[in-house]
């Protein structure tokens, strides 16, 4: 995983994954390239999953108090 991939936004990571999927589905993609693409997809998936987990953790810290105001816990 390089720094460029770690700094991707979630949306950028998903877009890269979509592009990889298109290449993997192509009958013209050589096997060696497919293996490299698959490895890259696994790395991107881990990055996106981590970003989702971080967002989920932030969201679960926000709760509504009795007045309906959102507060951070």
- What are the Cα distances from residue 47, in Å, to 10, 20, 22, 27, 32? 8, 15, 20, 27, 23
Q: 0.85 exceeded by the pTM?
A: no
Residues of the chain with pLDDT > 90, as a percent, come to 66
pLDDT score at 10: 95
CB 48 within 8 A of CB 13: yes
Distance of alpha carbon 50 from alpha carbon 48, whole angstroms: 5
Q: For residues 7, 34, 20 and 1, what is the CA-based torsion angle, rounded to 10 degrees? A: -10
Q: Give 53's pLDDT tier (boundaries 50, 70, 90).
A: very high
pLDDT of 72 strictly over 80: no
Instruction: Return the pLDDT at 5.
Output: 64
Mean pLDDT for the stretch of residues 5-31: 93
Strand, helix or coil at 71? strand
Are 25 and 17 contacting, i.e. CB atoms less than 8 angstroms apart? no
């Amino acid at each position: 995983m390089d720094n460029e991939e770690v700094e991707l936004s979630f949306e950028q990571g998903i877009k890269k994954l979509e592009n990889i999927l298109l290449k993997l589905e192509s009958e013209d993609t050589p096997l060696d390239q497919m293996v490299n693409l698959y490895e890259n997809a696994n790395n991107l998936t881990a990055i996106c999953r981590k970003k989702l987990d971080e967002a989920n953790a932030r969201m679960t810290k926000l709760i509504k108090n009795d007045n309906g105001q959102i507060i951070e816990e």
